[in-house]
Amino acid sequence: MNKKSSIEEKYKNNYKIIYKITYPNGKIYIGQDFTNNYNYFGSIDEELLKRDFSDDDILSFTIIKEVIFREKNITKKSLNLLEKNYILQYNSNNPNVGYNKLPVYSSCKKIDSK
């Protein structure tokens, strides 16, 4: 079995999840996983963490991983869209709230023109 078909098989057979990681400073990261890897805690940009935590801070460092969505029968496209919606819902792309870089945060509020 080639690498691509192995990944496709893993995707088909596993739960697809959206998770929320909460760091000690209260900031969050929203991500997805379809590998059933219990040890996976996201692909956050390490430089963002280094800005918020000192070398001493990480000597005792607790994070919380919460599964906020879990489903076996969802397409990759739908999972990607759902992840984006959760990022927007939790506002985790706002640098003051979380560590998601995409979608790019805009502090401009829409003005309702009635």
Confidence tier at 20 by pLDDT (50, 70, 90): very high
Higher pLDDT among residues 58 and 78, named by residue:
78
Closest among 38, 28, 23, 33 to 80, alpha carbons compared: 33
CA distance 19 to 9: 22
Task: List the structure tokens of 68.
Answer: 């906020």
Predicted confidence band of residue 109 (pLDDT cuts 50, 70, 90): low
The pLDDT assigned to 1 comes to 62
Q: Give dist(CA 2, CA 15) in Å, integer.
A: 22
